Structure 1
Amino acid sequence: MFTNKNPGVWAISWMADGHDTGFHDHDRSSGGVHVGRGCIRHEHLRMGERPTGAAIEAGATFCFDDTFIHRMRPEPGAGPTVTIHAYSPPLRQTGQYGECDDGLIP
């Protein structure tokens, strides 16, 4: 939606129950996510621990710093969901994290 040298703003439409960001970080960016419509499943990860998660409903917002690892996906049955993401500095890349069979990140 918008990027300059300070913030970057994205709008993401989640139309399919199978859409999933996978676990990722935001490189050097901090930011926030606002759920504008629908409901998103948000899972936060700490290395060596199982992910913790919650359903984030329309109207709710969460923030993160540059050490945050998480994944997002639409809550099953929530219908069309829209999230607004703001990053500073603007998000240029993400780090991706794979899961082991036991659900942990090595």
Structure 2
Amino acid sequence: MTVSTPMPARTRLAETVGALAADPGAWVRRVRLSPDGRWYERLHRDEDHEIWLISWLPGQATGLHDHGGSRGAFAVALGDLEERDLGGARQVAAGQTREFGPEYVHEVRNTSTAPAVSIHVYSPPLAEMNRYDLTESGLVRLAVERADQW
């Protein structure tokens, strides 16, 4: 008898966005660029997870935030992004995936001179996100955004 073990949620999420990012035919015609801020569109939502497509012009950023208790992953599909967390900053190039747990705080930004596109997945679907500032005393929560605000 063969018993299959479910894949850990974080690994499954990273594989999902990695596969989708590698298949531009599934999303490239939906991408829009906005000089007013990051453009985003939800591609999928069910009880288990949701998937977002985001485009970034040079200089656009998320600001420090968490995902309200959801696990997640993102893959850069086109271009390059920089991710900064409390441990430092790293470049994330096209084809690379980052994954994170429910307590993760980070910022993503386009520090390049060209547009970028990324795919993001969250499980469970986002209910809220907390926005932060990093001060000498540590993280200070600035705001809570709820899903009905997106």
Assess same fold via TM > 0.5: yes
Q: Which residue of 2 aligns with 1:35?
A: 76
Q: Which structure has more helix as a fraction of its residues?
A: 2
CA contact (8 A) 2:67 2:104 kept: yes
Which of 50, 53, 62 aligns to 2:89? It is: 53
- Secondary structure of the residue aligned to 1:99 is strand
Give the distance between the partners of 2:139 and 2:70, measured in 1 at CA: 21
Greater relative CO (CA pairs within 8 A, separation 6+) = 1
Q: Which residue of 2 aligns with 1:2?
A: 44
Query: Structure 2 length normalisation: TM-score?
Result: 0.61
Q: Which residue of 2 aligns with 1:12?
A: 54
Cα deviations by residue, 1:26-56 (Å, 9 ceiling, x for unpaired): 11200110000000010012xxxxx500110
Residue 2 (structure 1) shift: 0.7
- Secondary structure of the residue aligned to 1:43 is strand
CA contact (8 A) 1:2 1:8 kept: yes
User: Which segments of 5 or more consecutive residues in structure 1 lack a partner in the other structure?
Assistant: 46-50
Instruction: Give me the identity figure in percent.
Output: 32
Q: Which structure has more strand as a fraction of its residues?
A: 1
Structure number, greater radius of gyration: 2
Which of 118, 129, 141 aligns to 1:83? It is: 118
Give the distance between the partners of 2:129 and 2:88, measured in 1 at CA: 20
Cα deviations by residue, 1:51-75 (Å, 9 ceiling, x for unpaired): 5001100000010000100000012
Give the distance between the partners of 2:60 and 2:131, measured in 1 at CA: 16
User: Which segments of 5 or more consecutive residues in structure 2 lack a partner in the other structure?
Assistant: 1-42, 141-150
Root-mean-square deviation over aligned CA pairs: 1.6
The answer to whether the aligner puts 1:73 opposite 2:109 as a matched pair is yes
Count, aligned residues: 98
